[in-house]
Amino acid sequence: MDLIVDAVAEAWRLLRTGDNDIYGITLRTAAITGTSTLVALLIGLPLGLGLALARFPGQRSFIALANAGTGTPPVVAGLLVSIMLWRSGPLGGLGLIYTPAAIVIAQALIAAPLIVAITAAAVMALPPALHLQIRAMGANQRQYLWLIAREARLPLLVAIMAGFGAVVSEVGASMMVGGTLAGETRVLTTAAVLEVSKGQFGSALALGFILLAFILVIAAALTIVQQRARRR
Amino acid sequence: MLGLALLVPAACGGGGGELILATTTSTENSGLLDALVSLYEEESGDHVKIIAVGSGAAMSMGERGDVDVLLVHAPAAELAFIDAGYGVERARVMFNDFVIVGPADDPAGITGSADAAEAIEAIAAAGARFVSRGDDSGTHAKEKTLWGAAGLEVPSADGWYTESGQGMAATLTIAAETGAYTLTDRATWLSVSDSARLPLLVEGDERLFNVYHVIVVSSERHDSVNTAAAGRFRAFLLEPTTQQLIGEFGRDQYGEPLFTPYASESN
């Protein structure tokens, strides 16, 4: 119990003094997870819409694949991306290993299936009559997709939150492809694991508290957006 | 936009090259490496990326040319690495020692023993809990040589003998929480928090000597290896001023230095 009390005090001290590059690490975490979620969204949203709306052979298998992908273990994603990005790997020449960009790639790989699966499920849950209605109004393909996405906006925000939640909490992939380099690729989760590995549980827990606070702020912001969207 | 600005690697700019150093969790966890590397970066203009893994993993990254320079402590594996042509210019940097720690009530009765092989034999005979790193690290390699010195097979991981598969500080915590013995390097043992610091029971056997070597990864097989920067870093580690820093590191915080300078151009 003492450890928890000490950790709260330590978290407060870190925030007050900015020691251990805590603000740099928090800002970096925000930038990396934000970019990962955005990339995953740009990939996942069209794929999810396509999976739900198009009719093609093997469609169900692809939906099953997306659903299975929601359980992609971060360490597997990290290892796959590492193998590609290591100097000895096929993309080694890009020099991306141990950079924030490498973390973004691995995290997008983790979050994209979640966004695909939730988007597809949300769109498939819309009443079938809706599609006919929109078509009957004379909407072109673009307007059609926009209106469908608009109708599914509440579950789509859940997709964003789920994708963000997956990347902000993972540690295996960031550790492996980023190397938790101080001032470059150290994020809140990997910094906490590093502190644990040093046996510094108080500062590890303090980083954990800061991470929880960060997630809470993002979740609150998304919820406000969601509730506004509901009233429309 | 803030995001994009932060994503541009900080490595850009500066006159030097980029150097990837693979090292052991013990040197990283002790904080020594951060101190040395920031000084080196200032002096050379090179940018160093420290990847902390076990000695085994460090050498396998070296074999593939994924890193430029190694700072490791697994002599037998290092020699095999050099013989296979993966590394060059191996040089001694520093040493500390391994110690055997364990529960205060010491069920195997090894307290004060100066014979590490006998101590480990007594632990096995008593069937007392022992946590091995089990991760192919330098510490794990040393533990295996002790079993050999005691004339025993490395025990299989069941019952009293377990493998943590984790770094040294994590393994010390597991040993402390489960009342087990373990083999640890002195630096990590000194730097963990009190709750994980089991009583020191055995020290001083020359077989517990823990030497760290620097090895430059050979560029013969991999063009991408930055041997120029690796050579600069190697030279930096052997400089008298760096060696002095190594000998002082940790004295303020732990009352004794964590490592002893031991530079030699040869081995």
Least confident of A149-153, A164-168, B181-185, B237-241: A149-153
pTM across the whole model: 0.81
pLDDT digits (tens, 9 = 90+) for A49-99: 999 998 889 888 999 999 999 999 999 999 999 999 988 889 988 989 889
Q: Do B50 and A181 touch (CB under 8 A)?
A: yes
ipTM of the complex: 0.74
Q: How many CB atoms sit inside 10 A of residue B170's CB?
A: 22
Tell me which fold the domain B97-208 belongs to: D-Maltodextrin-Binding Protein; domain 2 (3.40.190)
pLDDT at A123 over 90: yes
CA angle A177, A182, A187 (to 5 degrees): 60
Say whether residue B208 is in contact with chain A using an 8 A CB cutoff: no
Band of residue B25 on the pLDDT scale cut at 50, 70, 90: confident
**Domain limits, chain A:** 2-227
CATH architecture of A2-227: Orthogonal Bundle (1.10)
Distance from CA of A101 to the nearest CA of B (A): 6
> Whose CA is closest to B101, among B13, B199, B220?
B199
The mean pLDDT value of chain A amounts to 90
Read off the DSSP letter of residue A89.
Answer: S
Nearest to A87 among B7, B66, B166 (CB): B66
Nearest to A199 among B3, B49, B173 (CB): B173
Nearest to A88 among B66, B166, B172 (CB): B66
> Whose CA is closest to A85, among A104, A66, A112?
A104
Per-residue model confidence (pLDDT) at position A232: 64
Least confident of A37-51, A200-214, B33-47: A200-214
Is domain B17-95+211-264 in CATH 3.40.47.10, yes or no?
Answer: no
> Whose CA is closest to A52, among A165, A130, A109, A169?
A130
**Domain limits, chain B:** 17-95+211-264, 97-208
> Whose CA is closest to B6, among A29, A163, A126?
A29
- Name the residue of chain B whose CA is nearest to A202's CA: B193
Q: How many CB atoms sit inside 10 A of residue B196's CB?
A: 22
